[in-house]
Amino acid sequence: MNCRWYCSGEKLLTQIRETNLPDEALTFWYLGQMGILVKYKEELVAFDVLLSELRRADGSVGATNYQPPFEPGALTGLTAFFGSHDHADHINTQTLIPLQKSNPGMKIIIPEGVRRQVLERGLSNTGVIGADAGQEITLSPDIRVLPLASAHETYDTDENGHNLFLGFAVKIGPFFLYHSGDTVLTERLISDVCAASARAGVSGPDAEFVPVNGADLPRHRRNIVGNMDERSAAFLAQETNADLVVPLHYDLVPGNTVNPLVFASVMDEEYPGRKYGIYRLGERVILWK
């Protein structure tokens, strides 16, 4: 897959810093794989953003279809970083350690079930919040977070019952967002997202960010854990009444890619009129209320 950054480097960093919109607007940038950066007023939050090389468990550098858009330490002003689970393309200490240094007030929200392992890799404990499904977190007057369990490919916990895989339902200003992390589609997931929407006082997410790379035996043989596919992601958007659904997790790792236009085809054929967006690397998107 030939992937090029639409916007990167200092141009992208300047755009992030200088984007200042009214209270009825929210901005997000697609930063590759499951990486989404959201800005509302002065609040800047990152979901599963990877800004360093992708390293395997043995420390070797894995092949990727594109390089990070900038050095992690160059990104400043972060309120929070959400890491959905302890895989290197989601919680990456080579990304997080420099981010901690350049964003001393940043909160890092990760599953409680992986907190110890992440800290053992050199991350400072300062600002790290271990999250569990259903336990709401207030980060600021404008940001409330409800972690939801994700099944990557199963619902897993540690020996103490703490979640290993999470998604995040986030009320930020007047907007309600859902970032699933890595997960397959389950009846529980549909029910949880709908319940989170009701708890937030809305009919569904303003934007829903979900993987579409699927799962199959060839990838299982390579120890690649799967996610929902294009049809399942489209069905989730329909069932949870997402105003905008954004397919993710389809472009970074060779051998674990899919064509996002398949997702577009499913949406157009089965749910005509429901909004979706497929974005270029580094592209800025603005939502309005």
* Chain segment 142-174, per-residue pLDDT in tens: 999 999 999 999 999 999 999 999 999 999 999
Q: How confident is the model at residue 219 (pLDDT cuts 50, 70, 90)?
A: confident
* Residue bearing tokens 């550098």: 61
DSSP 196: H
pLDDT (average), residues 5-27? 97
For β-strands 43-47 and 80-82, DSSP reports them as parallel
Q: What pLDDT is attached to residue 58?
A: 67
Within 13 Å and on the Cβ side, how many CA atoms surround 31?
27
HEC string of 78-145 equals CCEEECCCCCCCCCCHHHHHHHHHHCCCCEEEEEHHHHHHHHCCCCCCCCEEEECCCCCEEEECCEEE
Give whole-number Cα distances, 219 to 6, 184, 190, 223, in Å: 29, 15, 26, 6
Q: Tokens in use for 212?
A: 């579409």
Q: How confident is the model at residue 186 (pLDDT cuts 50, 70, 90)?
A: very high
Please state the pTM of the whole predicted model.
Answer: 0.96
Q: Is the pLDDT of residue 71 over 90?
A: yes
Q: What pLDDT is attached to residue 216?
A: 87
Helix axes 230-239, 187-200, angle to 10 degrees: 40
Q: Is the pLDDT of residue 258 over 80?
A: yes
Q: What pLDDT is attached to residue 83?
A: 98
Q: Give the separation between CA 272 and CA 268, rounded to whole angstroms.
A: 5
* Chain segment 21-40, per-residue pLDDT in tens: 999 999 999 999 999 999 99
For the chain, give the percent of residues with pLDDT over 70: 97
Q: What pLDDT is attached to residue 206?
A: 98
Q: How confident is the model at residue 50 (pLDDT cuts 50, 70, 90)?
A: very high
One-letter amino acid of 86: D
* Chain segment 200-213, per-residue pLDDT in tens: 999 999 999 999 99
Q: Tokens in use for 263?
A: 């997702």
**Please, what is the average pLDDT of the chain?**
95
Q: What pLDDT is attached to residue 196?
A: 98
Identify the CA nearest to 230 among candidates 212, 257, 207.
Answer: 212
Q: How confident is the model at residue 2 (pLDDT cuts 50, 70, 90)?
A: low
